[in-house]
Amino acid sequence: MGSPADVYWKPDGEKAYVIDGTNENIVEFTASIPYDETTIVETGMFDILDLDNNIRGIDFNDAGTLCWLIGTSQDDVHQLNFGTGWDISTISDPEINRGIGGTNANPQSVRFSKDGFILYVSDTSGKVFAYNVTTPFDISTLTTSPSFNVDFTSTAPNVGKVLFSTDEKYLYLLSRTNDNVVRYLLQTPGDITTAVFLDSFDDLMETNPLGIHIRRDNGKKLYVVGIISDTMFSYDMSLNENNSIITRLGDELTTETGENIVYA
């Protein structure tokens, strides 16, 4: 695989899912040590070329039974159903898709709110759009026009990815223009209209980052993937006395499979 566009870790850290931008697959990796990318091995894949030939973002529900994707070619949100949670070999047809192309230019990220009633989509304009969902986590009930949007251009131009802390008190945005991760305090948890800029992490080893993920069980590890190094980097995260991010480079791994160098 190559040109990883996004990454998502299972909440217990036993599996990671990476968008293979070269072959247009979702690749499933299993970690022998939870959340340790140096111990992962490929255990499955699913071809997503028929959905969109430039998938950029991935999200899951906590049970791993629903997976959402978004791409720039079709400008649709796609929903895949896993018969067994977190087992990519059990994806079943049909998939559900919902078009949002009329309101988003070049969508980069898809992320559900914790309660499943709002779907957030970012694009290269620097805005994050919020779409209402009538039935939680069911994109067939997604409104095709956003209820509102927030412009983050001044602090995070060209928003590549959107992430929330598990308690939704913090918002993290990947800026593709600045190649950094920007952190905001949500004065009302889960409400991006109340976002207040806190700080940013600018020392990413990847010079063209496309995907980020934060460890779900304790929020103390940041993962970054991108298309220049084809590498998954990890960074340890903690807070200092000023409540600012302190990070240090963790581990990285390269493995050889076929003709491609896969970094995990």
Q: Splitting the chain (264 residues) into consecutive groups of 10 residues, what average pLDDT does each group show?
A: 92 97 94 94 94 93 96 89 97 82 79 96 92 95 91 94 94 94 95 95 89 91 91 83 61 34 34
pLDDT for residue 57: 96
Residue written as tokens 């067994």? 84
pTM for the predicted model, two decimal places = 0.91
H helix or E strand, kind and range, residue 200:
strand 195-201
Pick from 245, 180, 183: nearest CA to 206: 180
pLDDT for residue 261: 28
pLDDT for residue 253: 41
pLDDT for residue 263: 36
pLDDT for residue 73: 86
* Domain spans in the chain, listed from the N-terminal domain onward: 4-263
CATH architecture for residues 4-263? 6 Propeller (2.120)
pLDDT for residue 94: 64
- What are the beta bridge partners of residue 68? 59, 79
pLDDT for residue 97: 87
Give every CB contact of residue 171 below 8 A, 6+ residues apart in sequence.
162, 163, 164, 165, 183, 184, 186, 192, 195
